[in-house]
Amino acid sequence: MHVHFTYAGGTIGMVDSPHGLQPGADLEAWLADLLAAFPAPKHMPVPPRSAGRIAPDRTDAQGRNTSLTTLHPLLDSAQAAPQTWQSIVNDLYAHAGVADAFVVLHGTDTMAYTASALSYALTELKQPVIVTGSQLPLGVSDSDAVANVVGALQALTQGAPRGVHLFFGGRLLAGNRATKISTWSLTGFDSPSAAPLALAGAPWHWTASTAAGAAATVPGVVWKEPAPFGRHDVIVVDAVPGLSAARLAQLLTPPPVAVVLRAFGVGNLPPELTAVIAQAVAEGVAVVVSSQCLQGEVELGRYAAGDGLAAAGAVGSGDMTLEATYAKLQFLASQGLRGAELGAWMGRNLAGELTVE
């Protein structure tokens, strides 16, 4: 098995500086040592320790079966943008001819956005992709870096299905269902609306539907040769008690391509905001109403306080996470969709991000 690593940045490869943590650790040497020590099953031979560092590209010529691309510049994932997602997509496709599986090493802050974005852009990719990182740098004695990278490799060697997954804190989650829930816990991610694919342990416990080889296809639409991610004007507005129609109107001026309106509960907002939303829709803005609840299932019209939103042309985000919703809007906008058509596509399941009744 040839595993290709794409290293995009994040705490895993950071070191202390007078200004706080920043990229600078020798991740390549650390990974080479880790792979040498990794107890490989028969089908995944690893380079002997003396093989040294991992070459930046395919290493078959030297008899090794891992490769690593370090993206430049390495980022704190807070600096990631849709172009960063595209750089990762490009690197995965550049190695799709040699790799059997992929691991993306990424910062935790926006890991769930990237995992969601990759899931939409890679529905044609045959190999599984696991995104991981750590809360503590690789050089720190109690770091979670080894556990997470080894966990990602174990998931792959046990036959993780196609699709984009996120491994963190002992759990394999669907990448587009995951959300960062803790700044400090080593179990920093959760998947509030979808069960984990697997729990690490002795032995690992796989959900029946995702057990090795069970899911040959990614649920959803196969988007053929998607256009690359661009950076579209998609904004997120969090409602608070007392948000006025005038303030909301200002936030939507000039009109963005799309707005994710984080409403209360199942998608409720005070009726005085409805006219502003109708105006935005008339101006061609795709208005997506999501829930502020961690475990949200938007149902516009269940309450009178949300009923006017659908009539005004807004669409609900169902049980998608904010990260999946935002990345999906960027993906669909990059495919040239706008307005009502963009809104309509938000209700379709592209890569398992949404439960469709």
Binding residues for ligand ASN, per CB under 6 A?
9-11, 76-78, 107-109, 133, 135
CA distance 193 to 178: 9
- DSSP string across 85-99: HHHHHHHHHHTTTT-
Q: With respect to ligand ASN, which residue has the nearer C-beta, 188 or 306?
A: 188
How many CA atoms lie within 13 Å of 234's alpha carbon, on the beta-carbon side? 27
Task: For helices 322-334 and 339-346, give the axis angle rounded to 10 degrees.
Answer: 140
Q: How far is the CB of 79 from ligand ASN (least distance, A)?
A: 8
Least distance to ligand ASN, CB of residue 50, Å: 31
Nearest residue by C-beta to ligand ASN? 107
Q: How far is the CB of 178 from ligand ASN (least distance, A)?
A: 14
Torsion, Cα 280 281 284 287, to 10 degrees, reads: 90
User: Do 321 and 178 touch, CB atoms closer than 8 A?
Assistant: yes
Nearer to ligand ASN, 110 or 210 (CB): 110
Alpha helix positions (H), the chain: 27-37, 82-94, 111-121, 145-157, 245-251, 274-282, 304-311, 322-334, 339-346
Vertex 301 angle, CA 296 and 302, to 5°: 65
Residue 290: closest CA among 255, 265, 258, 253: 265
Nearer to ligand ASN, 133 or 220 (CB): 133
Compare residues 59 and 179 and give the one whose CB is closer to ligand ASN.
Answer: 179
Residues 176 and 351: beta-carbon distance below 8 Å:
yes
**CB closer to ligand ASN, 75 vs 129:** 75
> C-beta of 292: minimal distance to ligand ASN in Å?
23
- Write down the catalytic residue from 66, 69, 108, 157: 108
Active-site residue flag, 108: yes
Cβ 137 to ligand ASN shortest distance, Å: 9
Alpha carbon distances (Å) from 316 to 81, 180, 255, 300, 302? 24, 22, 19, 6, 12
The residues assigned a catalytic role are: 108
